[in-house]
Amino acid sequence: MVPRTPRRSIVAIGAGGLALALTLAGCSAGGSDSGEGGATSLTFLVDNGEATVATAQALVDAFEAENSDISIEVDTRPQGADGDNVVKTRLATGEMADLFQYNSGSLMQALNPDQTLVNLQDEAYVGKFDENFVKSVSTDNGVYGVPMGQSMAGAVIYNKDIYAELGLEVPTTWDEFIANSEAIKAAGTAAPIVQTYGDTWTSQLFVLGDFNNVLAEEPDWAEKYTNNEAKYVDEPAIAGFEHLQQAFEADLYNEDFASATYADGVSMVATGEGAQYPILTFAASQLMTTNPEAADVVGTFPIPGGDAASNGLTVWMPTNTVYVPKSTEGDKLEAAKKFLEFLTTPESCDIQAESNAPQGPFVIEGCELPDDVPAMVSDMQPYFDEGRTNLALEFLSPIKGPALEQITVAVGSGITSAADGAAQYDEDVKKQAQQLGLEGW
Amino acid sequence: MRGLGWKWGGGILAIVIALVVFVVPFVFIVFTAGKTQAEAAALEFSWPTEWVFFENIATVLQTRDFLLVRAFLNSAILTTVAVAVMVVLGAMVGYVLQRRRSRWNPLVNTLVLAGLIIPPAVVPTIWVLQGLGLFKTLVGLIAVHVAFGLSFCILLFRAFVATIPRELDEAAIIDGAGPVKLFFRVVFPLLRSVIVTVIVVQAVFVFNDFTYALYFLPGDENATVQLTTFNYISQSVSSFNLLFADVLLITIPPLIMYIFFQRQIVAGMTSGAVKG
Amino acid sequence: MTTATAPGRTSTSSGGPTPPQPARRGRMKSPYPTWFFIPAGVFYVVLFLVPTVASFYFSLTRWTLFDVEFIGFDNFVRFFQEPQLVTGFVNTFIYAFVTSGSKVVLGLLLGVFLSSQIVARGFLRATIFFPVLVSTIGVGILFEVLMDPFGGPINEALAAIGIEGPAWLTDPSLALLSVALVDVWKGVGLATLIYIAGMVAIPQEYFEAAKVDGASAWKNFRHITLPLLRPATVTVVLLSLIGGLRSFDLIWAMTGGGPGFTSDVLASVIYKQYQAGFFGLSTAGNVVLFVVVAAIIFPLSWWLNRKGDDQ
């Protein structure tokens, strides 16, 4: 019912934008106010998403209560590509806040961490981090970030009531998934698969969330891809594009898929208007805001691939990660490190879980999810416990083409075939790799 | 004459069509801005069952720490300064260009025309602004607007100066006025009517501009109103009442301009144009 | 309408009718100093001319955050190979010609109509013109809602009279034209006013003479109005073509170039490449746009104006 909302997504999973080296940040807070007397005052730059600000402020309040000699002021920046610009500019000009929150993975790699960020490799708490998380905030030379938030998955969220009513089982292969969808279509009460191209970034999930299955078939695919040896037009990676096309051709999408938005999509699954929706599990927070009554109705399963044996989740590390720029020095650096250490404590995790609905398991040893998390989050835990997870491609390779979301919209809308779409994306990736100056392209 | 039938029949038909095509959309903005969130989500063209118009306006203005209020301030500064600079500099060029035959004239005329037609090269402009330390500053955006808007001003001024008798200049010169005094004391005041036109047309243009703000003043920390509205969309999913309250707010300044300066706006937009 | 400033088309061309300036006083002390050009020139040269010239160089480079690498014509090759970029190129022409053509036809009809003796003429003119002044973003947001395929007011209204409205902005074959339609809605007021101004400039004697000859209304239109409105037509064509070729904000606000790439135009492609950090490619797009605009507008304006002078 709701028209599309242009551009900019809540999380810049697709933004991937590089920014121009800007000389002047348009932001407040130069981060230059020096500590008065014994107290050290820090600035902490976070994106202006309501949830991020609330979490950051709650953490700061708790930290200040324990450390009366340190005061931290939370500052905000825009999200999406604009925010990327601000962060890069301020880093490049040495005007960054004393602490800042930013993405992990390839977006973090684009910050030139070796030159701009403080290396945390030798801090004791790094040992408590999930191995996958460490990968997502490291270069060959160091470890740079501390998580503020949980990991999440690119998976299918589904309405358990519909599944129960029709006697369906959670699918472990793509064929089962399609069979389920056909059954739901035949029942006629709900849209089998929800797509929401009003927010274009949501169209990428069939491709990005399929990566566990790609790695299952070819464990070194990410490396080959970075080296210009593996392509999306070939098996196994083309499967994601084919799934989009196949589901479109089988007429399994909701009627208003072209104009519906992300918020609509989550509501549809919650209310039973739609049955299954491939999305990032941070949708838990949207669900708890708009449809809290459906907390136990909406569940999660991995995007299925060809082989039931390798069925597993494609995982995103916490997009909210806290870094310290090299421009923070002396007392401020000490204070900033203290804050980072605080972030890794169970106390901090509890505050995070409280101030914002969890989207998946924590990545710090000793941090537990509360018992009352929504079903779509608790459904993920077994996969983590059994080790049936793989990192998403953007944490394993610095290359992500900027046009993927338009290409997947085109494939999912029947404008472009899967093969053409994959070929277009390979070109897009090539552009990006050349721009990054990678070897072999 | 078949006058009466045409006069009334055609007129009334036209009024009905104009109401449906042009007035209804604006009424839709007002209605939606007056509705509660739930009612606005239905997207219906209907009288709000419950008017919460002023509450919505207040909410929009207060959102995110009065962001929109700050944006209005930014837009006001941007518009005032950019237009003021354009008027003075444009008048100077238009005046000399018309009065004096110098070997520069063909070049200047060509550049003026080029400025009207050629699309600005965006990223290199950012590159220059960066070099000057003006990228992402209001000053930078003002300078860009001046640079891109001068051509239009010069054309209008040049045309108008042609209607001022030279005898006036000569009288002033005989009275001992230097070039600067001649221009600012004698000629400039005579340009009043065209100045009003230029101010109004350019003010509307600068205030409404979206593209240049998007490129040269990105980020919503110190954005202009157009940009804020655009950014607002992604944040208030399905709060159509607030979105349209916002749209209504940014529509008001041009509306006021139009009511008071209808004649000048129309004159400026058509006269400069008809002469090409 | 234009009385405030428009001194008619007769007395305008710069310096034309004015007598050459007598070299009475010494060359040095002209009362019209050329340095008056300088302040405006600084803005123009620094922020318009320099970037324009520089764009030719940067379009041949791979330009990143940190350095510039010369890569020859690769960017242009890419521009004309990648289907998504080619779409933008083709769409630019479709969009420009559709909007410009519609504005000429509708503007002419409305201009003539609103110059005739009808009631509420002032109201009608004001109503049609107002959208010209409203912010493009506002209009874009408004119509995105009005054109919503499910429950949007336009389709609801069409349904009420038994027509099933199309998916305006989400149907790949229609999205670009839907945006063009809104562009015409917003811009037709200006075209209309230019035609009205042109009508005012037609001396009444022509019509009176025609009346004596007993000419029909159609003949009047065909043989008096249309030819004498030629300058107005030239203006409308040029203005709307320039605007249409460079058009960005309405498309960006309404579809963002989507669905997929189906409503991308050059200007939106340029912005997307910029946003993605491909500064060299983005600038190459700018050069393409520059060439397209120049290659169409300059010859066209020369041709139109020359034919005008012949008569």
**What is the DSSP track for C131-159?**
HHHS-HHHHHHHHHHHT-TTT-HHHHHHH
CATH number reported for the structural domain that contains residue C230 in this entry: 1.10.3720.10
For residue B172, the SS3 value is helix
Q: What distance in Å separates residue C194's CA from the closest CA in chain A?
A: 34
Is pLDDT at A111 greater than 60 in this prediction?
yes
Is pLDDT at A91 greater than 90 in this prediction?
no
Q: What distance in Å separates residue A422's CA from the closest CA in chain B?
A: 28
Chain B residues touching A28 at Cβ < 8 A? 221
- C132 vs B: CB within 8 A: yes
Around Cβ B176, how many Cβ atoms within 10 Å?
Answer: 8
**β-strand A142-143 against A146-147: which pairing, if any?**
unpaired
Chain A residues touching B221 at Cβ < 8 A? 26-28, 77-78, 86
pLDDT tens digits, one per residue of A213-249: 999 999 999 999 999 999 999 989 999 999 999 999 9
Chain A 244-273, CB below 8 Å of chain B: which residues? 261-263
CA-nearest residue of chain C to A434? C62
- ipTM for the predicted complex comes to 0.87
Indicate the pLDDT class of residue C4, thresholds 50, 70 and 90: very low
Which has the higher per-residue pLDDT, B109 or A13? Answer: B109
Per-residue pLDDT at C13: 38
Which of C67, C84, C155 should we substitute to test contact with A (largest number of A Cβ atoms within 10 Å)? Answer: C84
Encoding tokens for residue A121?
A: 């490799």
Which of C58, C62, C65, C274 should we substitute to test contact with A (largest number of A Cβ atoms within 10 Å)? Answer: C65
Q: Does A25 contact B130 at a Cβ distance shorter than 8 Å?
A: no
- Domains of chain B with bracketed CATH: 66-275 (1.10.3720.10)
Q: Does C272 contact A19 at a Cβ distance shorter than 8 Å?
A: no
Is pLDDT at C277 greater than 90 in this prediction?
no
Q: Does A403 contact C145 at a Cβ distance shorter than 8 Å?
A: no
Q: Does B150 contact C44 at a Cβ distance shorter than 8 Å?
A: yes
Residue ranges making up the domain that contains C92: 85-310
Q: What distance in Å separates residue A21's CA from the closest CA in chain B?
A: 8
pLDDT tens digits, one per residue of C94-109: 999 999 999 999 999 9
Chain A 327-356, CB below 8 Å of chain B: which residues? none
- B136 vs A: CB within 8 A: yes
Number of domains in chain C: 1
User: Does 3.40.190.10 match the CATH number of domain A152-316+394-436?
Assistant: yes
Which has the higher per-residue pLDDT, A100 or C275? Answer: A100
Which of C24, C38, C44 should we substitute to test contact with B (largest number of B Cβ atoms within 10 Å)? Answer: C44
pLDDT tens digits, one per residue of A127-169: 999 888 898 898 889 999 999 988 899 999 999 999 999 999 9
Of A266-270, A395-399, B110-114, least confident by mean pLDDT is A395-399
Nearest to A6 among C147, C256, C259 (CB): C256
Is pLDDT at C39 greater than 60 in this prediction?
yes
Chains touching C, CB cut-off 8 Å, 3+ pairs? A, B
| Residue contacts between A and C (CB atoms, under 8 Å) | 103
Of A270-274, B136-140, C148-152, least confident by mean pLDDT is C148-152
Encoding tokens for residue A367?
A: 């941090």
**Which residue in the block uniquely carries the two structure tokens 């320099």?**
C50
pLDDT tens digits, one per residue of C65-90: 567 888 888 889 888 888 788 889 99
Q: Does A6 contact B130 at a Cβ distance shorter than 8 Å?
A: no
pLDDT tens digits, one per residue of A161-187: 999 999 999 999 999 999 999 999 999
Chain B residues touching C278 at Cβ < 8 A? none
| φ/ψ (deg, to 5) at B119 | -70, 135
Q: Does A415 contact C256 at a Cβ distance shorter than 8 Å?
A: no
Nearest to C150 among A256, A416, A437 (CB): A256
Chain A residues touching C281 at Cβ < 8 A? 431
Is pLDDT at A115 greater than 70 in this prediction?
yes
DSSP string, A76-98: EE--HHHHHHHHHHHHHTT---S
Per-residue pLDDT at B221: 64
Nearest to A85 among B43, B130, B218 (CB): B218
What residues form DSSP beta bridges with A147?
Answer: A321
For residue C292, the SS3 value is helix
Per-residue pLDDT at A354: 86
Q: Does A431 contact C261 at a Cβ distance shorter than 8 Å?
A: no
Per-residue pLDDT at A3: 35
For residue A10, the SS3 value is coil
What residues form DSSP beta bridges with C48?
Answer: none
Does the residue C2 lie in any domain? no
Burial class from Cβ neighbours inside 10 Å (0-12, 13-18, 19+) for residue B4 reads: exposed
Provide the residue type at A136 as one letter: S
Per-residue pLDDT at A232: 95
Per-residue pLDDT at B82: 96
- A204 vs C: CB within 8 A: no
Which of A85, A107, A413 should we substitute to test contact with C (largest number of C Cβ atoms within 10 Å)? Answer: A413
Question: For a pLDDT cut of 70, what percent of chain A falls above it?
Answer: 91
Question: For residue A421, which of A246, A269, A254 has the smallest C-alpha distance?
Answer: A246
CA-nearest residue of chain A to B130? A23
- C288 vs B: CB within 8 A: no
Q: What distance in Å separates residue B238's CA from the closest CA in chain A?
A: 7
Indicate the pLDDT class of residue A126, thresholds 50, 70 and 90: very high
Does the residue C14 lie in any domain? no
Q: Which CATH number is correct for A40-150+319-369, 3.90.550.10, 3.40.190.10, 3.20.20.70, 3.10.20.30?
A: 3.40.190.10
Does the residue C90 lie in any domain? yes
pLDDT tens-digit profile, chain B (276 residues): 456 777 788 888 889 999 999 999 999 999 999 998 888 877 888 888 888 899 989 988 887 778 888 899 999 999 999 999 999 999 999 999 999 888 888 999 999 988 988 899 988 999 899 889 888 889 999 999 999 999 989 988 998 898 889 888 888 888 888 888 899 988 999 998 889 888 988 999 999 998 999 888 876 667 888 888 877 665 545 678 888 998 999 988 988 888 888 877 777 776 654 443
B170-174, long-range: CB within 8 Å, 24+ apart, which pairs?
Answer: B173/C31
Per-residue pLDDT at C96: 95
Q: Does A3 contact C275 at a Cβ distance shorter than 8 Å?
A: no
- B123 vs A: CB within 8 A: yes
Does the residue C55 lie in any domain? no
| Distance (Å, whole) CA A421 – CA A233 | 8
Which of C18, C28, C48 should we substitute to test contact with B (largest number of B Cβ atoms within 10 Å)? Answer: C48
Does the residue C22 lie in any domain? no
**β-strand A313-316 against A389-391: which pairing, if any?**
parallel
Is pLDDT at A285 greater than 50 in this prediction?
yes
| Distance (Å, whole) CA B35 – CA A285 | 27
Per-residue pLDDT at C7: 36
Q: What distance in Å separates residue A225's CA from the closest CA in chain B?
A: 30
Does the residue C111 lie in any domain? yes
For residue C116, the SS3 value is coil
The radius of gyration of chain A from alpha carbons, rounded to an integer in Å, stands at: 22
Chain A residues touching B237 at Cβ < 8 A? 2, 5, 261-263
Q: Residues of CATH 3.40.190.10 domain(s) within chain A? A: 40-150+319-369, 152-316+394-436
| Distance (Å, whole) CA A107 – CA A210 | 20
pLDDT tens digits, one per residue of C158-201: 998 988 888 899 898 999 999 999 999 999 998 998 898 888 88
Is pLDDT at C17 greater than 80 in this prediction?
no
Per-residue pLDDT at C309: 55
| Distance (Å, whole) CA C11 – CA B98 | 12
Q: What distance in Å separates residue A427's CA from the closest CA in chain B?
A: 23
**What average pLDDT does the segment A283-300 reach?**
89
Q: Does C133 contact B208 at a Cβ distance shorter than 8 Å?
A: yes
Q: Does B123 contact C124 at a Cβ distance shorter than 8 Å?
A: no
CA-nearest residue of chain C to A3? C148
Q: Does B124 contact C50 at a Cβ distance shorter than 8 Å?
A: yes
The radius of gyration of chain B from alpha carbons, rounded to an integer in Å, stands at: 23
Chain C residues touching A434 at Cβ < 8 A? 62
- C47 vs B: CB within 8 A: yes
Nearest to B99 among C32, C133, C157 (CB): C32
Q: Does A2 contact B41 at a Cβ distance shorter than 8 Å?
A: yes
- A435 vs B: CB within 8 A: no
Strand order in the sheet with A40-47: A70-77, A40-47, A99-102, A321-323, A146-147
**Which residue in the block uniquely carries the two structure tokens 């799934």?**
A243
Q: Does A21 contact C66 at a Cβ distance shorter than 8 Å?
A: yes
CA-nearest residue of chain B to A27? B221
Q: Does B234 contact A2 at a Cβ distance shorter than 8 Å?
A: no
Q: Does A413 contact C84 at a Cβ distance shorter than 8 Å?
A: no
Q: Does A1 contact C150 at a Cβ distance shorter than 8 Å?
A: yes
| Distance (Å, whole) CA B182 – CA B159 | 19
